Amino acid sequence: MKIRPLDDRVVLKMTEPEEVTKGGIILPGSAKEKPQVAEVIAIGPGGTVDGKEVVMQLKVGDRVLMNKYSGTEVKVGDEEFILISQKDVLAVVEE
């Protein structure tokens, strides 16, 4: 099964939270925060949304920063994704 987002929607796959801090401390599952960085898996075509022209600025493979609890969680097979509007993406993470 494949997800094809519509309009200005973006499909994200959350990155795995770090299990070891930079100082070498191993974090138990309860101490891990929900990650805010995700990878763009698919993007919609953009177009007119709510009467305004939307140009998609993201591309597949971008790593993005998002609000902790934004978007809709979707499970396809064994994988979990977040479906979010492009306007809810805060920034592109560049390394």
Name the token pair of 4. Answer: 């094809």
Cβ contacts of 4 within 8 Å, gap of 6 or more: 42, 44
Instruction: Return per-residue pLDDT of the chain as tens, 95 residues.
Output: 688 999 999 999 988 655 655 676 666 555 455 558 999 999 999 988 888 899 999 999 999 999 888 899 999 989 999 999 999 999 999 87
Backbone angles phi, psi at 86, to 5 degrees: -55, -35
Q: What topology does CATH give the domain 9-18+30-88?
A: 10 Kd Chaperonin, Protein Cpn10; Chain O (2.30.33)
Name the token pair of 68. Answer: 């902790």
Cβ contacts of 45 within 8 Å, gap of 6 or more: 6, 7, 56
Say whether pTM exceeds 0.75: yes
**Domain spans, the chain:** 9-18+30-88
**Distance in angstroms (rounded) separating the CA atoms of residues 35 and 49:** 28
